[in-house]
Structure 1
Amino acid sequence: MLESIPTALPHRSTTDFFSDPVDSHPLWFKSNLFLSPTFDSESYISELRTFVPFETLRSELQAHLSSLNHELIDLINRDYADFVNLSTKLVDVDAAVVRMRAPLLELREKIEGFRGSVEGSLVALQSGLKQRSEAAAAREVLQLLLDTFHVVSKVEKLIKELPSMPTDWSNGDVNMADRNSASHAATLQNVENGTNLRETQSMLLERIASEMNRLKFYIAHAQNLPFIENMEKRFQSASLLLDASLGHCFVDGLEHQDENVIYNCLRAYAAIDNTKNAEEIFRTTIVAPLIQKIIPHGSTEFVAGASGDELENDYNQIKQCVEKDCKFLLEISSAENSGLHVFDFLANSILKEVLSAIQKGKPGAFSPGRPSEFLKNYKSSLDFLAHLEGYCPSRSAVAKFRGEAVYVEFMKQWNVGVYFSLRFQEIAGALHSALIAASLAPIHNSHSDEGRSPLLTLKQSETLLESLRSCWREDVFVLSCSDKFLRLSLQLLSRYSNWLSSGLAARKVGNSGANPGNEWAISAAPDDFIYILHDTNCLASEVCGDYLAHVLQLLSSCPAEVLDLVKQSIIQGGRALNALQPSVINTIVGTLVEKAVEDLRQLKGITATFRLTNKPLPVRHSPYVSGLLRPLKTLLEGQQATTYLTTETRNKLLVSAVNEITNRYYEIAADLIEMAKKTESSLQRLRMGAQKRAGASMDVTDHNVSENAKFSMQLFLDIQEYGRNLAALEVEAADIPAYCSLWRCVAPSDRQNVIEF
């Protein structure tokens, strides 16, 4: 038995104290990777070196090597007897190998011989198949050449038969060597099938076109062959003759409106994939003369017939001509299962000629420099296109018509973007001119002006409403620019709101120099702000009411989610106008308070009246009291307030003004009372000191109390009158906190709990 190979590491127990394997390797050491067929030592070490030191890796590998050696020795010791007996059982192995080799060699020779014969047969078979394939290809090419020759000959024969059918060639320009018009023009008999000569000719041309299509197929599959190259001239000559003959026959059929002839000719054009020629012939033969009469664009006709650039009447005449002279061909080309849907006479014949005539005869019709005429022509053109689309038998035909290059080119002529820019300058410029005025411009006799809203009172407000309505007027609005007109409407509302809010802010500050254009707010009277209150209320109601309904009606073809966004945006603009009303009310109140404060300054004279005097107790109110609420009463009872303010707005204005005036009344009176008390206290101390120095013993208390009583009594009488004035305005003085505080300051002790006038 083999002895154990000494290892570098001492023997350790297989488990430690906690029953975990002591000899287990770390998680990063995976011994099963060594058995992988794709194991590479260099890549394995390069991956581990980033986070495992070399010393650690070496120790783990040595430990693994030691464990492998132990396993090998254990295996040898376990089967040691079989290992030793293995050499004793290998007896006469060489002789057995020699006996087995002989038949194997013989079998190899037979296999090699058979392989050689099979390879020879395979080579012969492949050679035969190759020859057979080449022969088949040559036969195919030969058959193709023969078919091509037969078809060319057949086409030439059929073309030569064309002159034998007498026709009325009005513009005979076909060069045929064998054409003998004198002998063939006399024959006007019908053929066996009973069809006339024109129809027979068209049927023959359709047959020739079918053969030409077949010939194109053959030539496409036999390119670069000398035989085909030699026949190229014959093919081109036949194509020219076919195109000329087919063109004359198609023109003849159009002039006589022969349905069968037109149908056969169109099938022939479709067979040779030459739809453009048919569309061009129809345009020049039928459409062009009709359009020339309606929109003359020659050198003489243009000067003589230049009667403006309006297109509506021209389109109406063109519609009648299309209905009368073109409808028959449109119906033929759009018939079901006819195979003629490859033609588009609407776009490539009718619309193309109309576009060319307008460009030459009335180029000014496309100019947006005159917005009204441009819009009228644009809408007439859209109506004309919609009329042409009515001849399309299906939605796919409409989509095809709209995708044609002529249709796209026609729509490009109408520069709607420039038109909107001009309308923008026109509409926004009118509002801007009205808003930069130095003062408000009231509207006089607005009820009698036709077309003017009787609700608004200021020129600025009326201009805003007119501008908003102009965006959606029939003679201004374009559906394709609806998003731009909506944005313009919102910009107009925002411009008006900013004008009003900035003016109110400038009036509050008292300086318009920082923001030019706010002079109107500095010079405006309280009555002018009543106009603003009325107009903002009316504008908000109009914008969120009839105006919104009109816009939604014009955009009714849009999806529901788009209409919802439009509705929300316009309503938000109307609410912005309503949100300005509190600021306007505060501005009016501020003006009224300023006037009241000027009268309240007379309170300072009351203290001087009763101090150091022998005047008796007052028995009536001061004159200034009657003037405190006079401006407010005059404002509310004036014509502007009674005419343009709602009851709710008047109440808001009244309550806000009364509260603010009373607050200022209380502040000034309270300050004067406090100052009077301090002054009289100082005077009392001075008098008492003087009396002590003089040795006098007179009492000064009655004199001091008398002065305070006089002053308080005067204020008490004043606020009673003020309360009666509030009652005249239908305002409860007891409901005003500032008035209650003022009452408690000046009322006698026995009347402080009850407010009575």
Structure 2
Amino acid sequence: GGAAAKARSSLKDKYVSLLKSKGNWSVGKPADAADATSNDAAAAAAAAAAASSSSSSSSSSSSCLGVTLERACRSFSRARVAMDKTKGFAISAKIQQALPSLLERVMALLNKTFITTVKRGDRAAVTRCLRAYTYIDQTHTAEEVLREEVVTPILNVTVTKAHLVRAQQKQQQQQQASLAKKPQGAAQNMDDLDPKAKKAILVLPLDLKELSAVAGKASSLDALFQLTLQALKTACGPALEASVFPFTAFHFTARSIAHELLPAIVSRGSNQLFAPYIPQRFLAHYRAGRRLVSGLEALCPDDARAKTFADTPALAQFDDKWNLPVYFQLRFQEARKALEDAVRSPPSLTDQDNKMSPPSSSPLALSATRAVWTGVLRCWREDVWVDRLTHRFFKATLQLLKQYASWVSLGLGPPPPLERAGLSPPKHERKRSTASTQAGGGGKWSSAEASSLRLVIAVEKDIQALCSNVRHSLPGTIVGCVCGGHDGGAGGDAEKKRTQATEMVTSGLSGVIGELERAGARAREVAARRIALACTKNLVTEVPRIKQRYSMTGNAPPSTALAFVQSILTPLREQLEDDDDDDGDGRSKSAWLVSRVADLVTDRYRVAVSDLLAVVQKTEAILSRLKKKKGRAKGTGMSDADKIRLQLFLDVRRFAEDLAALGCADDTTKALQDLVQLPPSIPKPP
């Protein structure tokens, strides 16, 4: 202390005598400023001399040295400020020449003291060193010194080319032999290490030789990364812990650790480390790298420095090495190839026991349906999905579902033309059918497949089950992947994010659900029209024969419905029985089929009855004119026309009863029953 005071007093006297020798410096402010400059410079020199003396003394502690260096840097800072106020004076020029050598001496001592205190884990001394760096605006020097003296030696014994290659080989062997009991890429657990290895990683000062041996035994790439990260956290921990507020100018994570660690992995890693051509291996490496980045981000003391870390060029270079687009294409090709193989082969119902069938509340009958659902789920599996490819996997999901909907629509073709059943479809429907035929010529199923009613019904059921899965279970699967990393936040925020994500996913799936529903509607229409054609096959020939039965035959008036009426709905009944045999509840699930077939058959029946009644009325009018011209009186019995009307009434009533037995509404046949109402002259049968 006495030596420092004496040196300061000597320097001050020297500078003051120089000032007094200048006769024109008698003004108060310049003289005061110059005096302040000389005082601060002398104080800085004295403190530096004291620091040098402390560093050379073995009895001086690092804490005392830190205090001395802090005082020296503070004095140096004041001297530099005073220099700015006295520019242009001769004394300032002399002091300016002395400051660089003084700064060099202080920085050499400060850097040495900083590294020594960091390695010893003395946080209080590290804090004083950081304050000293701040005084002289040398924060970047502290970051550089920590990188060169602490980080680089650790990386030279852990992240070596040999260790990286060995860790990859061990991981591949575990994958091939299925020996890994943990999920792929599970983080390294420090509890799995022996006490000697723990000491090499967690206890200061680090033993680099032992650390190298521990890194060489890493069982996977992720294990090597986590061991390295933990060693860096231990070694740089005092500096990281001390760099909290107000020392926010120090970016040790971004500029000391990540600046050296990430480029080392890029330069020393083999080609296989970043190669995406084996997706399973690439995903394990990528997730190990992402966990490493997350661990580095966790070392940042606050959000501002976390943002600096996110913007660092080293991280950008590291992220660019992962060829995620190629990985996605390989994964998408796996799912798409399975679907294309399924739709390329003829659709059949003989593969119910296929192992591809995913768990679902509704079984999927066709291999193509199972392939598309399996492909969709594959996109969101834990061993496939990547967070940064979420938008691509969602787009792939939509493409797979749209491809399936297109396959169904083109395969079924347009519904059978209603002209075959004696009905003319509306003009807009006729145009749509023509366009569908032209568009679907290349993908249409063979005539045998397309004409299989059982296959069409199975397609309709599969589409219903697929729509239900996409609408109810798929959003939860996607949101579970996307929001899986938000569990660490507040409960309300996490729930809000999940709700928003669910709304977005549901909105995005609404379009493809509409396409699936339209494909299902086409399948239902095709199935209903085919059954309707089978139901009306005899109807279109038997109804006109009623006129032949009673015209000038003398047959007695009818009392029961004709036999063909009972067989009109036989194809529909058989289909409903098949549905009951398949799932035990086919009648309730096929209500749409009963309703649509009933409408089609009723319309066809109404057209046939209307045509017959028109002919009967014309014939009756002609006979009435002939009798009137010949002067013949009307017969007392029932006329042939009334017999025909009575027969139609009995037939339609029986048809309505059969429809009611199948669960159809009463108003289904109202128009038909109104058409065959008996005139008052004919007694209504019981």
Separation in structure 2 between the aligned mates of residue 700 and residue 438 of structure 1, nearest angstrom: 74
Report how far residue 591 of structure 1 moved. Answer: 1.6
Q: Which residue is equivalent to 2:16?
A: none
Aligned to 2:5: none
AA aligned to 1:248 is: K
SS class of match (2:438): coil
RMSD: 4.9
Deviation of the 1:599 alpha carbon: 2.3
Q: Does 1:566 align with 2:504?
A: yes
Seen in structure 2, the aligned counterparts of structure 1 residues 703 and 318 have a Cα distance that, compared at 3 Å, is farther
- In the TM superposition, what whole-angstrom CA distance separates every residue of 1:442-492 from its partner, at most 9, and x where no partner exists? 573358657443522234443443454445443455556667766765676
> 1:282: which partner in 2?
146
Which residue pairs with 1:519 in the alignment? Answer: 444
Match status 1:737 vs 2:670: yes
1:360 aligns with 2:299: no
Change (3 A) 1:213 1:489: same
Q: Which letter maps to 1:740? A: Q
Say which of 527, 530, 540 aligns to 2:457.
530
CA change 1:247–1:735 in 2 (3 A) is closer
Distance 1:585 1:458 in 2: 16
- The CA deviation at 1:638 is 1.1
Contact residue 346 and residue 388 of structure 1 kept, 8 A: yes
Aligned to 2:82: 218
Q: Are the aligned partners of 2:610 and 2:675 in contact in 1 as well (CA < 8 Å)?
A: yes
8 A contact 1:437–1:517 mirrored in 2? no
Q: Which has the higher contact order (CA 8 A, sep 6+)?
A: 2
For 2:166 and 2:582, how far apart are their aligned partners in 1? Answer: 65
User: Displacement, 1:411?
Assistant: 5.6
Q: Percent identity?
A: 21
Following superposition of structure 1 onto structure 2, how do residues 444-455 of structure 1 map, counting pairs within 5 Å?
444-446=351-353, 451-453=358-360, 455=363
Distance 2:76 2:309 in 1: 28
Aligned partner of 1:399 in structure 2 is 304
**Do the aligned residues in 1 keep the contact of 2:279 with 2:331 (CA within 8 Å)?**
no
Aligned to 2:243: 333
- The range that moved more, 249-258 or 443-452, is 443-452
**Counterpart amino acid of residue 591 in structure 2:** N
Question: 295, 301, 314: which is aligned to 2:224?
Answer: 314
Contact kept, 8 Å, 1:287 with 1:349, in 2: the verdict is yes
Structure 1 pair 641/472, CA: closer, same or farther in 2 (3 Å)? Answer: same
Deviation at 1:503, TM superposition (A): 6.9
Task: Decide which of 624, 627, 637 is 2:577's aligned counterpart.
Answer: 637
Give the number of the structure whose alpha-carbon radius of gyration is greater. Answer: 1
Confirm whether residue 589 of structure 1 aligns to residue 499 of structure 2: no
Q: Is the 8 A contact 1:506 1:521 kept in 2?
A: no
1:344 aligns with 2:276: no
TM-score normalized with structure 2 length: 0.67
Equivalent in the alignment of 1:23: none
Task: Map 1:38-49 to 2 at 5 A.
Answer: none
Q: Secondary structure of the equivalent of 1:457?
A: coil
Distance 1:163 1:612 in 2: 135
Q: Could you tell me which residue of structure 2 aligns to residue 247 of structure 1? A: 111
Residue of structure 2 equivalent to 1:458: 366
**CA pair 546-732 structure 1, distance change in 2 beyond 3 A:** closer
State the SS of the aligned residue for 2:414.
helix
C-alpha displacement of 1:285: 2.0
**TM-score for both structures, normalised by structure 1:** 0.62
Give 1:547 deviation, angstroms: 3.6
Aligned partner letter, 1:744: Q
The superposition leaves residues 519-559 of structure 1 with CA deviations (integer Å, 9 ceiling, x where unpaired) of: 24982533233224323433344344344444555544545
CA distance 1:405–1:674, shift in 2 (3 Å): closer
Q: Distance in 1 between matches of 2:97 and 2:535?
A: 110
**Paired residue for 1:13?**
none
Deviations 1:33-67 (A, max 9, x none): xxxxxxxxxxxxxxxxxxxxxxxxxxxxxxxxxxx
Which ranges of structure 1 fall in alignment gaps of 5 or more residues?
1-133, 168-186
1:315 positional shift: 3.2
Deviation at 1:272, TM superposition (A): 1.5
- Output the amino acid matched with 1:653: L
* Structure 1 pair 647–728 and aligned structure 2 pair: CA distance change class (3 A): closer
Counterpart residue identity of residue 500, structure 2:
V
Instruction: After TM superposition, give the deviation of residue 280 of structure 1 in Å.
Output: 1.8
- 2:610 aligned with 1:670: yes
Aligned amino acid, residue 635 of structure 1: Q
For 1:414, the equivalent position in structure 2 comes to 319
Letter in 1 for 2:364: L
Per the TM alignment, residue 407 of structure 1 is displaced from its structure 2 partner at its CA by 4.7
Greater Cα offset, 637-646 or 702-711 = 702-711
8 Å contact kept, 1:402–1:408 = no
Q: Name the structure 2 match of 1:125.
A: none
Q: Residues of 1 paired with 2:553 and 2:93: CA distance?
A: 141
- Matched-pair contact (CA < 8 Å) for 2:528–2:596: yes
Q: Equivalents in 1 of 2:154, 2:25: separation in Å?
A: 59
The alpha-carbon deviation at position 664 of structure 1 amounts to: 0.6
Aligned twin of 1:750: 682
Q: How does 1:366-515 map to 2 (within 5 A)?
A: 376=284, 379-388=287-296, 390-391=298-299, 397-404=302-309, 407=312, 409-410=314-315, 413-414=318-319, 418=325, 422=329, 425-426=332-333, 429=336, 433=340, 440=347, 442=349, 444-446=351-353, 451-453=358-360, 455-477=363-385, 506-507=414-415, 509=433, 512-515=437-440
AA partner of residue 566 (structure 1)? M
One-letter amino acid of the counterpart of residue 674, structure 1 = A
Match of 2:541 among 599, 602, 608: 602
* 8 Å contact kept, 1:296–1:305: no
CA contact (8 A) 1:155 1:211 kept: yes
Residue 602 of structure 1: how far off its partner (Å): 1.8
Structure 1: how far apart are the matches of 2:77 and 2:665? 103
**Which whole-Å CA distance do the structure 2 matches of 1:676 and 1:743 have between them?**
12
Measure how far apart 1:667 and its partner are: 0.9
Equivalenced residue count is 580
Any idea what the Cα deviations from partners look like across 1:686-719, whole Å, max 9, x if unmatched? Answer: 8999xx8xxxx9x798799876577667656755
In the superposition, relative to structure 1, how do residues 591 and 306 fare at CA in structure 2: closer, same or farther (>3 Å)?
Answer: closer
Query: C-alpha offsets along residues 245-292 of structure 1, whole Å, 9 cap, x if unaligned?
Result: 332333333444455553443332222211122222222222223233
With over 3 angstroms needed to count, the CA separation of the structure-2 counterparts of 1:571 and 1:451, relative to structure 1, is closer
2:492 is the alignment partner of 1:545:
no
- Structure 1 residue 671: deviation in Å? 0.6
SS of the aligned residue for 1:602 comes to helix
Residue 200 of structure 1 deviates from its aligned partner by 4.7
1:151-194, CA deviations, whole angstroms, 9 ceiling, x for partnerless residues?
A: 55665565566665565xxxxxxxxxxxxxxxxxxx74x3xxxx
Match of 1:653 in 2: 593
Matches within 5 A, 1:127-138: none
Tell me by how many angstroms 1:301 deviates. 6.4
Give the corresponding residue for 1:48: none
SS for the counterpart of 2:591 is helix
Q: Quick one: distance in 2 between partners of 1:136 and 1:751?
A: 141
The aligned counterpart of 1:32 is: none
Q: What secondary structure does 2:415 align onto?
A: helix
Distance (Å, rounded) in 2 between the aligned partners of 1:739 and 1:285: 98
Q: C-alpha distance in 1, partners of 2:644/2:290? A: 86
Match of 1:324 among 228, 234, 257: 234
Deviation, 1:651, is: 2.9
C-alpha distance in 1 between matches for 2:368 and 2:243: 60
Instruction: Give the equivalent residue in structure 2 for 1:96.
Output: none
Aligned-residue offset at 1:672: 2.7
The residue correspondences of 1:59-138 to structure 2 (distance < 5 A) are none
Q: Which amino acid aligns with 1:316?
A: Q
Q: Is the 8 A contact 2:580 2:587 kept in 1?
A: no
Distance 2:478 2:166 in 1: 44
SS of alignment partner, residue 590 of structure 2: helix
Distance 1:663 1:748 in 2: 26
Q: Distance in 1 between matches of 2:329 and 2:570?
A: 52
Distance 1:147 1:251, change over 3 A: same
